């Protein structure tokens, strides 16, 4: 990022962080609740099953459903990395990142006839083939600024059932196969 853009972006991040009312000592669940408040909907932190995430190359994802936001994170990594994954996905939410361009609803309907194409499109919204590198850089920078601002090593804890995470993993592995996602370098 060029320096002028970085200064504007940092000011935007500082403003976003300044609006978060998070009690001390810092807990990732409290930050998730603070991010959820202005959206007027629950935000759930959900672990991805350990045996499934590495094969799909996914270590974190934000899914905006009709009535809630879900942030999924890998459990086959250190607690510190889990927190960073969650912070990265919360940064996508705070920055209101969206998919570039229009999804192919007819194609999605053919691939996943039992799923709502809008939900499928949201699931795929920030994969490496559809998102801009800029969005990933922005989310990574804001996640780092969140770490710095809160000056803490919080622990990510699950807030949803294992069944919910297992169901998403099955769907996610289908997406990974369909879109040929490979390796941890393509995650988050």
The pLDDT assigned to 80 comes to 86
Is the pLDDT confidence value at 2 over 50? Answer: yes
Q: Are 139 and 88 in contact (CB under 8 A)?
A: yes
pLDDT by residue (tens digit) across 40-80? 999 999 998 664 444 445 688 887 877 889 898 888 888 88
Region 24-28: what's the mean pLDDT?
89
The count of structural domains within the chain is 1
The pLDDT assigned to 51 comes to 46
**Structural domain span for residue 117:** 3-186
The pLDDT assigned to 6 comes to 86
Region 19-25: what's the mean pLDDT?
92
Give the residue with greater pLDDT, 144 vs 48: 144
Q: For residue 59, how many other CB atoms are within 10 A of its CB?
A: 24
- Cα separation, 72 vs 75, whole angstroms: 10
Closest to 90 measured CA to CA, from 171, 130, 149, 50: 149
% helix, strand, coil for the chain, step of 5: 55, 10, 35
Is the pLDDT confidence value at 87 over 90? Answer: yes
Mean pLDDT of the chain: 75
The pLDDT assigned to 154 comes to 46
Cβ burial 109-126 (10 Å sphere, 16+ → b, else e): eeebeeeebebbbbbbbb
Tokens of 133: 């590198």
């Amino acid at each position: 990022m060029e320096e002028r853009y970085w200064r504007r972006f940092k000011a935007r991040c500082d403003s976003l962080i300044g609006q978060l009312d998070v009690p001390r000592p810092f807990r990732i669940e409290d930050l998730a609740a603070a991010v959820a408040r202005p959206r007027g909907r629950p935000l759930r932190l959900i672990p991805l099953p350990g045996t499934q995430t590495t094969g799909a190359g996914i270590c974190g994802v934000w899914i905006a459903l009709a009535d809630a936001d879900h942030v999924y994170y890998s459990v086959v990594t250190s607690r510190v990395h889990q927190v960073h994954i969650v912070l990265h996905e919360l940064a996508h939410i705070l920055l209101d990142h969206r998919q570039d361009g229009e999804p192919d609803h007819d194609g999605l309907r053919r691939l996943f006839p039992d799923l709502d194409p809008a939900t499928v499109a949201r699931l795929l919204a920030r994969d490496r083939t559809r998102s801009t590198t800029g969005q990933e850089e922005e989310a990574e920078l804001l996640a780092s600024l969140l770490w710095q601002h809160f000056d803490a090593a919080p622990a990510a804890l699950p807030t949803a059932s294992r069944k919910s995470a297992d169901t998403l993993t099955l769907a996610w592995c289908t997406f990974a196969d369909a879109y040929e996602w490979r390796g941890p370098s393509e995650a988050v």
